[in-house]
Amino acid sequence: MRTEKHSRLKREEKELGKELYNQLRRLSCDQLWRVEASRFDKASPQERMQRVAVVRAVGVVFSESGTAEQKAQAKLWLRALLDDPNEKIRRYAMSAIPKIGADPSEESILLSLLKTTHSEREKKFIAETLEKIGGTATLSEIDKLAGGSFQQTEQKVKASLARAERPSVIKLDAVLTDFSQLRLHLRGRSGLEEIVRDEVEDYARKYGKFRIADVRPGMVAITPTAPFTLADIYALRSFGSVSFVLGTARTADTSKFIETVASMITSPLSRRILKTFTEGSIRYRLDFMAKGHQRSVVRDLANRAYALCPEVLNDARHARWTIAIHPSEHGNSIELCPKLAPDPRLYYRLQDVPAASHPPLAACMARLAGHWDNDIVWDPFCGSGLELIERAMLGGVRTLYGTDLNPEAIAITDGNFAASNVKQVASRFVCCDFRDFATVEGLGPNAATLIITNPPMGKRVPIPNLRQLIQDLFSVAATVLRPGGRLVFANPFRMENPHPSLKLQYSRTVDFAGFDCRLEKYVKAPANADSHRVIC
């Protein structure tokens, strides 16, 4: 009974603390400081414990809205609380200080406290705070103070110092000469893998360097056949992300899994890739795909990898590499992924619009459209212009037309197209309803050879009658396209006989990040042609 009562009281105390914090969180810096912090200082030890949420609120509110003078004042107050006789108050102060910004004086106080405290819980909080604010003093002291048990703190402080002193850069033009037994995964949206495969094969015919090893839903595996650079890989435009496969962890035992993956992270293969393509400190983050945060496993795995190779640092902030752990039918695929931001392929995308096309999807649509000389291309819902620009980059385009109801989208498309630096392609971007195409100079019956578009799907902006809009698109395409012209678009509906002159040549179901849609290609038949369709 006592245990149940104690647990109930603890829960009630926690809920009251949350409620108080939420109230304090809404106060201004001035109110929090003049009223609540002052009241906290004058309170009895019991009342201070009841109102310890004030300490947390000061850290958050002052970090978000305080002036430099107010933050300095609050930091002095929090620093004094690090010497409070109550451990809970000290712990709240430790958590609040990094939010405002610490300096060597707070680091020194925490290191001194680490020497004197006998509370394991307080040692843990000190270590977590030092992970955020620690520097060279922490590195020189923590190992001997903690007897080697604060490996994670040491690693995070090293990563923080490395981040400041030696910022990491991915080297696109560095050549990986030892590519034996190397496998790369080009990942993207399920349903597009055939287009990715075809692009790899086209590239291989021209330049060599890669061959197809496997094709699976959402993934094309390739193997190098010659020394290569990351720039060679990013010459391909239709995939989403690339990763180097380090191996497969097939065990369900957590401790064995950690040992296996840590060995892969620090393997000669992994270090060879990291050293070849990284300038500066080598830092990575761990990402369990489709399994949530897995915080305890991440911590133990990072610590074990650090013990095996201290020069490869786990760092969740601004790391240039990700160790992605993908579940598969044979276990977990452990993959090393470069994080390039911005993507070098999208140098032209200066701005974007809400619900704009996914860039690899736009590239896939451009490849699906095929290459015509003197193509006259129209996107009725141009958004930020990705489909038009990706098609123009493939060559053979004479004129681009883009229409959109949003004037901001037209301005963004215009700017992005100018940044793409595509030569000898005329363009005209007009704010209007696509059904008013006749008002756009150059558009009219039999004017275009290609219509390529990713129309609004009504997911973010409601469309009163989306099915009718798609039906209108078919009707307009049948009018504007020349015989033999193509319509390539993302179709949210399965529509039979949308227009007798449009013959379906290609249809694939594609994952649109939460819902399925069909990527389709139609060709306008000459007059009196039969209605035969080829549905892939």
The pLDDT tens digits for 290-325 are 776 788 899 899 999 998 999 999 988 889 999 999
- pLDDT-derived band at 55, boundaries 50, 70, 90: very high
Contact 184, 337 (CB under 8 A): no
Residue 2: band (very low, low, confident or very high) from pLDDT cuts 50, 70, 90: low
- Residue 6: predicted pLDDT: 56
Residue 531's pLDDT is what? 43
25 vs 61: CA distance, rounded Å: 6
Mean pLDDT calculated for residue range 348-375: 91
- pLDDT of 359 over the 50 cut: yes
The domain in which residue 250 lies consists of: 184-338
pLDDT at 142: 75
Cα 89 to Cα 96, 124, 365, 507: the distances in Å are 11, 15, 59, 63
**Are residues 188 and 328 located together in one domain of the fold?**
yes
Choose the final residue of a domain: 308, 338, 368.
338
CA distances from 416 to 191, 346, 402 (A): 27, 10, 12
Residues 157 and 194 in one domain: no
CA 203 to chain centre: 27
Write down the pLDDT at residue 304. 93
Question: Higher pLDDT residue, 132 or 170?
Answer: 170
Higher pLDDT, 124 or 266: 266
334/368 same-domain check: no
- The residues near 210 (Cβ < 8 Å, ≥ 6 apart) are 184, 200, 203, 204, 222, 223, 224, 225, 228, 232
The whole-number pLDDT of residue 365 equals: 97
The pair phi, psi for residue 342, each rounded to 5°, is -80, 160
33 domain-assigned: yes
Q: Residue 214: is its pLDDT beyond 50?
A: yes
Identify the domain boundary among 294, 309, 338: 338
> For the segment 12-42, what is each residue's pLDDT rounded down to a tens digit?
667 878 898 999 999 999 999 999 999 999 9
Tell how many helices (H) and how many strands (E) occur in the chain.
20, 17
Cα 46 from Cα 340, distance rounded (Å) = 52
Instruction: Please give the average per-residue pLDDT across 480-490, as a whole number.
Output: 97
pLDDT of 56 > 70? The answer is: yes
pLDDT at 145: 59
Both 96 and 212 in one domain: the answer is no
**H helix intervals, 370-429:** 386-393, 407-420
pLDDT-derived band at 86 (thresholds 50, 70, 90) equals: very high
Structural domain total, the chain: 4
Per DSSP, the residues of 264-315 read HHTSHHHHHHHHHHEES-EEEEEEETTS---HHHHHHHHHHHHHH-TTEEE-
- Rounded CA-CA distance 133/100 in Å is 11
Residue 199 belongs to a domain? yes
Region of poorest pLDDT, from 3-12, 183-192, 289-298, 429-438: 3-12
What's the pLDDT score for residue 9?
Answer: 56
Write down the residue that tokens 């989403």 correspond to. Answer: 240
> From residue 295, how far is each of 287, 298, 312, 388 by CA, in Å?
10, 5, 19, 43
309 belongs to a structural domain: yes
pLDDT of 464 higher than 90: no
pLDDT tens sequence across 135-185: 888 888 876 655 556 788 888 888 888 877 778 899 999 999 999 889 999
210/156 same-domain check:
no
Q: Does a structural domain hold residue 463?
A: yes
Structure confidence at residue 143 (pLDDT): 66
Q: Is residue 272 part of a domain?
A: yes
Please, what's the largest Cα pairwise distance for the chain? 94
pLDDT at 210 over 70: yes
Rg (CA), the chain: 30
The reply to whether 473 falls in a domain is yes
Instruction: Please tell me whether residues 225 and 289 are part of one structural domain.
Output: yes
Question: What CATH number is attached to the domain comprising 327?
Answer: 3.30.2130.30
Whether residue 345 is predicted with pLDDT greater than 90 in this model: the reply is: yes
Checking if the pLDDT of 530 tops 60, the result is: no
Average pLDDT of span 398-422: 96
Asked if the model's pLDDT at residue 533 lies above 50, the reply is: no
Judgement on whether residues 452 and 497 belong to the same structural domain of the protein: yes
Residue-averaged pLDDT of the chain: 90
Q: Does residue 60 share a domain with residue 142?
A: no
pLDDT class of 536 with cuts at 50, 70, 90: very low
What is the per-residue pLDDT for 513?
81
- Taking alpha carbons only, the member of 138, 166, 133 closest to residue 151 is 138
Indicate which CATH number applies to the domain containing 465.
3.40.50.150
pLDDT of residue 180: 87
**Overall residue count recorded for the chain in this entry:** 536
Pairing of strands 481-491, 448-453: parallel
